[in-house]
Copies of this chain bind each other. A is one copy, B any other.
Amino acid sequence: MSDTAEKPKDIMFAQALNMAMNKAMADDPKVILLGEDIADKEGGGVFKVTAGLSGTYGTDRVRSTPISEQAIVGAAVGAALVGYKPVAEIMLMNFITVAMDQIVNHAAKLRFMSGGQTSVPLTIRTTTGAGTGLGGQHSDMLEAWLAHVPGLKVVAASNPQDAYGLLYSSIMDDNPVIFIENTPGYFVKGPAPAADHTVPLGKASIPREGTDITLIGYGSAISRCHAAADKLAEDGISCEIVDLRTIAPFDEETVLKSVAKTKAAVVVHEAVRSFGTGAEISSRIHEELFSELRAPVGRVGSGYAPVPFSPAIEKAWMFSQDDIEREVHKILG
Protein backbone atom coordinates (compact mmCIF):
# COMPACT_ATOMS: atom_id res chain seq x y z
CA MET A 1 0.00 0.00 0.00
CA SER A 2 2.85 2.36 0.77
CA ASP A 3 4.01 1.79 -2.77
CA THR A 4 1.72 4.02 -4.76
CA ALA A 5 3.48 3.58 -8.08
CA GLU A 6 1.06 2.39 -10.72
CA LYS A 7 1.35 -1.24 -11.80
CA PRO A 8 -0.20 -2.70 -14.94
CA LYS A 9 -3.20 -4.15 -13.14
CA ASP A 10 -3.68 -1.31 -10.70
CA ILE A 11 -7.09 0.28 -10.54
CA MET A 12 -8.50 3.29 -8.81
CA PHE A 13 -10.44 2.98 -5.62
CA ALA A 14 -13.55 4.46 -7.26
CA GLN A 15 -13.34 1.83 -9.96
CA ALA A 16 -13.26 -0.97 -7.40
CA LEU A 17 -16.47 0.34 -5.90
CA ASN A 18 -18.06 0.43 -9.31
CA MET A 19 -17.00 -3.17 -9.94
CA ALA A 20 -18.43 -4.31 -6.61
CA MET A 21 -21.81 -2.75 -7.34
CA ASN A 22 -21.73 -4.16 -10.84
CA LYS A 23 -21.12 -7.67 -9.50
CA ALA A 24 -23.78 -7.32 -6.82
CA MET A 25 -26.34 -6.14 -9.36
CA ALA A 26 -25.47 -8.96 -11.72
CA ASP A 27 -25.63 -11.55 -8.94
CA ASP A 28 -28.86 -10.39 -7.36
CA PRO A 29 -31.75 -8.63 -9.09
CA LYS A 30 -32.83 -7.27 -5.71
CA VAL A 31 -29.86 -4.92 -5.59
CA ILE A 32 -30.94 -1.40 -6.55
CA LEU A 33 -29.18 1.95 -6.36
CA LEU A 34 -30.60 5.30 -5.30
CA GLY A 35 -28.88 8.65 -5.15
CA GLU A 36 -28.42 12.10 -6.56
CA ASP A 37 -27.07 12.19 -10.13
CA ILE A 38 -26.09 8.52 -10.04
CA ALA A 39 -27.55 7.46 -13.41
CA ASP A 40 -25.57 7.94 -16.61
CA LYS A 41 -27.84 10.62 -17.97
CA GLU A 42 -26.66 12.70 -14.99
CA GLY A 43 -23.05 11.60 -15.36
CA GLY A 44 -22.99 8.39 -13.32
CA GLY A 45 -22.45 10.17 -10.03
CA VAL A 46 -20.54 13.34 -9.29
CA PHE A 47 -17.43 11.24 -8.72
CA LYS A 48 -18.50 8.78 -11.45
CA VAL A 49 -18.54 5.89 -8.98
CA THR A 50 -21.78 4.52 -10.43
CA ALA A 51 -20.89 5.25 -14.06
CA GLY A 52 -22.28 2.73 -16.53
CA LEU A 53 -24.52 0.91 -14.10
CA SER A 54 -27.77 2.50 -15.24
CA GLY A 55 -26.75 1.64 -18.79
CA THR A 56 -26.36 -2.02 -17.87
CA TYR A 57 -29.20 -2.40 -15.37
CA GLY A 58 -31.64 0.30 -16.37
CA THR A 59 -32.86 3.39 -14.60
CA ASP A 60 -35.47 1.37 -12.74
CA ARG A 61 -32.67 -0.18 -10.72
CA VAL A 62 -30.27 2.77 -10.81
CA ARG A 63 -32.30 5.83 -9.92
CA SER A 64 -31.22 9.44 -9.84
CA THR A 65 -33.20 11.13 -7.11
CA PRO A 66 -34.23 14.62 -6.09
CA ILE A 67 -32.10 16.35 -3.44
CA SER A 68 -34.05 14.67 -0.66
CA GLU A 69 -31.78 12.66 1.59
CA GLN A 70 -34.57 11.66 3.98
CA ALA A 71 -36.60 10.39 1.07
CA ILE A 72 -33.59 8.58 -0.38
CA VAL A 73 -32.76 6.70 2.81
CA GLY A 74 -36.43 6.17 3.62
CA ALA A 75 -37.10 4.63 0.22
CA ALA A 76 -34.12 2.38 0.73
CA VAL A 77 -35.38 1.34 4.18
CA GLY A 78 -38.84 0.55 2.85
CA ALA A 79 -37.59 -1.46 -0.10
CA ALA A 80 -35.17 -3.32 2.19
CA LEU A 81 -38.03 -4.33 4.48
CA VAL A 82 -39.56 -6.38 1.68
CA GLY A 83 -36.52 -8.10 0.30
CA TYR A 84 -34.61 -5.55 -1.72
CA LYS A 85 -30.95 -4.80 -1.10
CA PRO A 86 -30.81 -1.10 -1.78
CA VAL A 87 -27.60 0.86 -1.98
CA ALA A 88 -28.35 4.49 -1.17
CA GLU A 89 -25.73 7.08 -1.99
CA ILE A 90 -25.52 10.09 0.29
CA MET A 91 -23.16 12.15 -1.78
CA LEU A 92 -21.09 13.60 1.07
CA MET A 93 -21.06 12.46 4.66
CA ASN A 94 -22.09 15.84 6.03
CA PHE A 95 -25.42 15.34 4.31
CA ILE A 96 -26.27 12.37 6.54
CA THR A 97 -27.14 15.08 9.07
CA VAL A 98 -30.44 15.56 7.25
CA ALA A 99 -31.11 11.82 7.15
CA MET A 100 -30.06 10.74 10.63
CA ASP A 101 -33.62 9.99 11.64
CA GLN A 102 -34.07 7.44 8.89
CA ILE A 103 -30.68 5.91 9.58
CA VAL A 104 -30.79 5.82 13.37
CA ASN A 105 -34.44 5.66 14.38
CA HIS A 106 -35.47 3.39 11.53
CA ALA A 107 -32.80 1.50 9.58
CA ALA A 108 -30.91 0.59 12.73
CA LYS A 109 -33.93 -0.27 14.88
CA LEU A 110 -36.66 -1.83 12.77
CA ARG A 111 -35.29 -5.35 13.09
CA PHE A 112 -35.18 -5.09 16.86
CA MET A 113 -38.43 -3.21 17.33
CA SER A 114 -40.26 -5.73 15.13
CA GLY A 115 -38.88 -8.58 17.20
CA GLY A 116 -36.97 -9.85 14.20
CA GLN A 117 -39.97 -10.02 11.87
CA THR A 118 -38.36 -7.60 9.46
CA SER A 119 -34.80 -6.67 8.60
CA VAL A 120 -33.20 -3.77 6.76
CA PRO A 121 -30.43 -5.04 4.49
CA LEU A 122 -29.52 -1.67 3.08
CA THR A 123 -26.15 -0.12 2.40
CA ILE A 124 -25.53 3.60 2.60
CA ARG A 125 -22.49 4.70 0.65
CA THR A 126 -21.12 8.11 1.47
CA THR A 127 -17.83 9.89 0.93
CA THR A 128 -15.91 12.46 2.91
CA GLY A 129 -12.45 13.54 3.94
CA ALA A 130 -10.44 16.70 4.29
CA GLY A 131 -7.64 17.89 2.06
CA THR A 132 -10.00 18.75 -0.77
CA GLY A 133 -10.39 22.47 -0.03
CA LEU A 134 -14.13 22.14 0.42
CA GLY A 135 -14.15 23.61 3.89
CA GLY A 136 -16.30 23.12 6.94
CA GLN A 137 -19.42 21.46 5.57
CA HIS A 138 -18.10 18.89 3.12
CA SER A 139 -15.33 16.98 4.84
CA ASP A 140 -16.44 15.74 8.25
CA MET A 141 -15.67 12.23 9.42
CA LEU A 142 -18.74 11.25 11.44
CA GLU A 143 -18.23 7.50 11.82
CA ALA A 144 -18.16 7.79 15.61
CA TRP A 145 -21.83 8.74 15.62
CA LEU A 146 -22.82 5.69 13.63
CA ALA A 147 -20.57 3.32 15.56
CA HIS A 148 -22.45 4.35 18.69
CA VAL A 149 -25.77 3.19 17.21
CA PRO A 150 -26.62 -0.44 17.98
CA GLY A 151 -27.83 -2.23 14.90
CA LEU A 152 -25.63 -0.45 12.38
CA LYS A 153 -22.43 -1.78 10.88
CA VAL A 154 -19.86 0.79 9.88
CA VAL A 155 -17.28 -0.04 7.23
CA ALA A 156 -14.35 1.78 5.61
CA ALA A 157 -11.84 0.38 3.15
CA SER A 158 -8.26 1.50 2.73
CA ASN A 159 -7.46 0.11 -0.71
CA PRO A 160 -9.23 -0.95 -3.92
CA GLN A 161 -9.16 -4.66 -3.22
CA ASP A 162 -10.73 -4.27 0.19
CA ALA A 163 -13.17 -1.71 -1.19
CA TYR A 164 -14.36 -4.27 -3.69
CA GLY A 165 -14.69 -7.08 -1.18
CA LEU A 166 -16.15 -4.99 1.60
CA LEU A 167 -18.71 -3.20 -0.51
CA TYR A 168 -19.92 -6.47 -1.96
CA SER A 169 -20.19 -7.97 1.52
CA SER A 170 -21.97 -4.86 2.78
CA ILE A 171 -24.58 -5.05 0.05
CA MET A 172 -25.18 -8.74 0.69
CA ASP A 173 -25.23 -8.36 4.47
CA ASP A 174 -28.62 -8.66 6.14
CA ASN A 175 -27.95 -5.63 8.38
CA PRO A 176 -27.85 -1.95 7.59
CA VAL A 177 -24.30 -0.96 6.72
CA ILE A 178 -22.79 2.50 6.47
CA PHE A 179 -19.98 2.32 3.94
CA ILE A 180 -17.66 5.30 4.24
CA GLU A 181 -15.49 6.32 1.31
CA ASN A 182 -12.72 8.87 1.17
CA THR A 183 -13.03 11.64 -1.38
CA PRO A 184 -9.34 12.27 -2.12
CA GLY A 185 -8.83 8.52 -1.93
CA TYR A 186 -11.09 7.83 -4.92
CA PHE A 187 -8.19 8.44 -7.25
CA VAL A 188 -5.61 6.38 -5.40
CA LYS A 189 -4.62 3.24 -7.23
CA GLY A 190 -3.90 -0.21 -5.98
CA PRO A 191 -3.89 -3.83 -7.15
CA ALA A 192 -7.13 -4.91 -8.79
CA PRO A 193 -9.24 -7.54 -7.03
CA ALA A 194 -10.03 -10.88 -8.59
CA ALA A 195 -13.71 -11.02 -9.56
CA ASP A 196 -14.44 -13.49 -6.78
CA HIS A 197 -12.42 -11.61 -4.16
CA THR A 198 -14.36 -11.30 -0.91
CA VAL A 199 -13.73 -9.61 2.42
CA PRO A 200 -15.99 -10.53 5.31
CA LEU A 201 -17.45 -7.82 7.51
CA GLY A 202 -16.21 -7.75 11.08
CA LYS A 203 -12.70 -8.94 10.31
CA ALA A 204 -9.69 -6.69 10.55
CA SER A 205 -6.59 -7.31 8.45
CA ILE A 206 -2.91 -7.05 9.27
CA PRO A 207 -1.34 -5.54 6.17
CA ARG A 208 2.04 -5.20 7.90
CA GLU A 209 3.49 -7.29 10.67
CA GLY A 210 5.75 -5.88 13.32
CA THR A 211 6.92 -6.39 16.85
CA ASP A 212 7.31 -3.08 18.68
CA ILE A 213 3.99 -1.35 18.42
CA THR A 214 0.59 -1.76 16.77
CA LEU A 215 -0.89 1.02 14.67
CA ILE A 216 -4.66 0.63 14.44
CA GLY A 217 -6.70 2.52 11.88
CA TYR A 218 -9.04 2.34 8.93
CA GLY A 219 -9.74 4.08 5.66
CA SER A 220 -7.65 7.15 5.01
CA ALA A 221 -5.48 6.46 8.07
CA ILE A 222 -3.92 3.31 6.70
CA SER A 223 -1.74 4.88 4.00
CA ARG A 224 -0.38 7.31 6.62
CA CYS A 225 0.26 4.41 8.99
CA HIS A 226 2.27 2.65 6.29
CA ALA A 227 4.25 5.78 5.55
CA ALA A 228 4.92 6.33 9.23
CA ALA A 229 5.89 2.68 9.66
CA ASP A 230 8.38 2.98 6.79
CA LYS A 231 9.89 6.02 8.42
CA LEU A 232 9.97 4.49 11.88
CA ALA A 233 11.62 1.39 10.49
CA GLU A 234 14.61 3.60 9.68
CA ASP A 235 14.85 4.31 13.40
CA GLY A 236 14.68 0.60 14.08
CA ILE A 237 11.08 0.58 15.21
CA SER A 238 8.98 -2.28 13.90
CA CYS A 239 5.29 -1.40 13.50
CA GLU A 240 2.42 -3.80 13.04
CA ILE A 241 -0.60 -2.30 11.29
CA VAL A 242 -4.17 -3.38 11.96
CA ASP A 243 -6.66 -2.20 9.37
CA LEU A 244 -10.04 -2.47 11.08
CA ARG A 245 -12.03 -2.41 7.82
CA THR A 246 -15.21 -2.80 9.87
CA ILE A 247 -15.23 0.03 12.40
CA ALA A 248 -18.29 -1.18 14.28
CA PRO A 249 -18.74 -3.68 15.64
CA PHE A 250 -14.97 -3.93 15.40
CA ASP A 251 -12.76 -7.00 15.44
CA GLU A 252 -11.59 -6.96 19.05
CA GLU A 253 -9.92 -10.34 18.72
CA THR A 254 -7.46 -9.25 16.06
CA VAL A 255 -6.76 -5.93 17.77
CA LEU A 256 -6.17 -7.48 21.18
CA LYS A 257 -4.04 -10.28 19.79
CA SER A 258 -1.79 -7.85 18.01
CA VAL A 259 -1.42 -5.53 20.98
CA ALA A 260 -0.86 -8.48 23.32
CA LYS A 261 2.13 -9.24 21.12
CA THR A 262 3.57 -5.73 20.64
CA LYS A 263 2.49 -4.41 24.07
CA ALA A 264 1.99 -0.91 22.69
CA ALA A 265 -0.54 0.72 20.39
CA VAL A 266 -1.62 3.90 18.69
CA VAL A 267 -5.11 4.33 17.27
CA VAL A 268 -5.21 6.58 14.23
CA HIS A 269 -8.09 8.25 12.44
CA GLU A 270 -8.83 11.33 10.42
CA ALA A 271 -11.89 12.21 12.48
CA VAL A 272 -11.64 14.74 15.28
CA ARG A 273 -9.71 13.03 18.05
CA SER A 274 -11.99 14.11 20.86
CA PHE A 275 -14.83 11.63 21.44
CA GLY A 276 -13.80 9.81 18.25
CA THR A 277 -13.81 6.08 17.57
CA GLY A 278 -10.22 5.91 18.77
CA ALA A 279 -11.47 6.45 22.31
CA GLU A 280 -13.48 3.22 22.27
CA ILE A 281 -10.67 1.20 20.77
CA SER A 282 -8.18 2.65 23.22
CA SER A 283 -10.51 1.95 26.13
CA ARG A 284 -11.08 -1.65 25.08
CA ILE A 285 -7.35 -2.25 24.86
CA HIS A 286 -6.75 -0.77 28.29
CA GLU A 287 -9.61 -2.76 29.75
CA GLU A 288 -8.28 -6.04 28.41
CA LEU A 289 -4.51 -5.62 28.35
CA PHE A 290 -3.76 -3.01 31.00
CA SER A 291 -1.06 -4.86 32.85
CA GLU A 292 0.69 -5.98 29.68
CA LEU A 293 1.01 -2.55 28.11
CA ARG A 294 4.33 -0.73 28.16
CA ALA A 295 2.58 2.63 28.03
CA PRO A 296 -0.91 3.96 27.58
CA VAL A 297 -2.43 3.53 24.16
CA GLY A 298 -1.87 6.62 22.03
CA ARG A 299 -4.41 8.33 19.86
CA VAL A 300 -3.97 10.35 16.69
CA GLY A 301 -6.84 12.31 15.18
CA SER A 302 -7.67 15.74 13.87
CA GLY A 303 -7.95 18.87 15.97
CA TYR A 304 -10.88 20.31 17.86
CA ALA A 305 -12.27 22.57 15.13
CA PRO A 306 -14.50 22.43 12.07
CA VAL A 307 -12.52 21.56 8.95
CA PRO A 308 -10.78 24.80 7.99
CA PHE A 309 -10.83 26.02 4.39
CA SER A 310 -7.41 27.57 3.97
CA PRO A 311 -4.80 24.91 3.17
CA ALA A 312 -2.33 26.03 5.83
CA ILE A 313 -4.85 25.82 8.66
CA GLU A 314 -6.39 22.66 7.27
CA LYS A 315 -2.97 21.03 7.34
CA ALA A 316 -2.23 22.11 10.89
CA TRP A 317 -5.64 20.87 12.00
CA MET A 318 -5.54 17.52 10.23
CA PHE A 319 -4.05 14.28 11.51
CA SER A 320 -0.79 13.43 9.77
CA GLN A 321 2.02 10.99 9.33
CA ASP A 322 4.12 13.23 11.58
CA ASP A 323 1.55 12.95 14.35
CA ILE A 324 1.74 9.17 14.16
CA GLU A 325 5.51 9.14 14.32
CA ARG A 326 5.53 11.57 17.21
CA GLU A 327 2.99 9.52 19.12
CA VAL A 328 4.97 6.31 18.56
CA HIS A 329 8.17 7.93 19.78
CA LYS A 330 6.35 9.27 22.83
CA ILE A 331 5.01 5.83 23.70
CA LEU A 332 8.20 3.89 23.08
CA GLY A 333 10.05 6.48 25.10
Residues of A within 8 A of B (CB): 70, 94-95, 97-98, 100-101, 103-105, 108-109, 112-113, 135-137, 140, 142, 144-145, 147-151, 248-249, 271-272, 274-280, 282-283, 286-287, 290, 293, 295-299, 303-306, 308-309
Which chain B residues border A277 with CB–CB below 8 Å? 275
Given A148-B145, A150-B306, decide whether A290 and B295 contact each other with a Cβ distance below 8 A: yes
Question: How many angstroms from the CA of A309 to the CA of B115 in the assembled complex?
Answer: 11
By the criterion CB–CB under 8 Å, are A299 and B283 in contact? yes
Which chain B residues border A105 with CB–CB below 8 Å? 94, 97, 136-137
Partner of A272, one of B148, B274, B290, B297: B148
By the criterion CB–CB under 8 Å, are A150 and B283 in contact? no
A108 to B, closest residue via Cβ: B306
Which chain B residues border A308 with CB–CB below 8 Å? 112
By the criterion CB–CB under 8 Å, are A101 and B97 in contact? yes
By the criterion CB–CB under 8 Å, are B280 and A147 in contact? no
Question: How many angstroms from the CA of A272 to the CA of B274 in the assembled complex?
Answer: 18
Number of copies: 2
By the criterion CB–CB under 8 Å, are A150 and B305 in contact? yes
- In the assembled complex, how far is the CB of residue A304 from the closest CB belonging to chain B, in whole angstroms? 5
Top-5 shortest CB links A-B = A279-B279, A97-B101, A290-B296, A148-B275, A97-B100
By the criterion CB–CB under 8 Å, are A286 and B275 in contact? no
By the criterion CB–CB under 8 Å, are A272 and B150 in contact? yes
By the criterion CB–CB under 8 Å, are A287 and B275 in contact? no
Given A97-B100, A97-B104, decide whether A136 and B109 contact each other with a Cβ distance below 8 A: yes
Which chain B residues border A108 with CB–CB below 8 Å? 306
Question: How many angstroms from the CA of A97 to the CA of B135 in the assembled complex?
Answer: 23
Given A109-B136, A136-B113, A151-B306, decide whether A279 and B283 contact each other with a Cβ distance below 8 A: yes
Which chain B residues border A309 with CB–CB below 8 Å? 113
Which chain B residues border A94 with CB–CB below 8 Å? 101, 104-105
Which chain B residues border A97 with CB–CB below 8 Å? 100-101, 103-105
Cβ contacts A to B, 21 pairs, < 8 Å: A95-B101, A97-B103, A98-B98, A98-B100, A105-B136, A109-B306, A145-B148, A147-B275, A148-B274, A150-B303, A150-B304, A150-B305, A248-B274, A249-B274, A275-B277, A275-B279, A278-B283, A283-B297, A287-B296, A287-B298, A290-B295
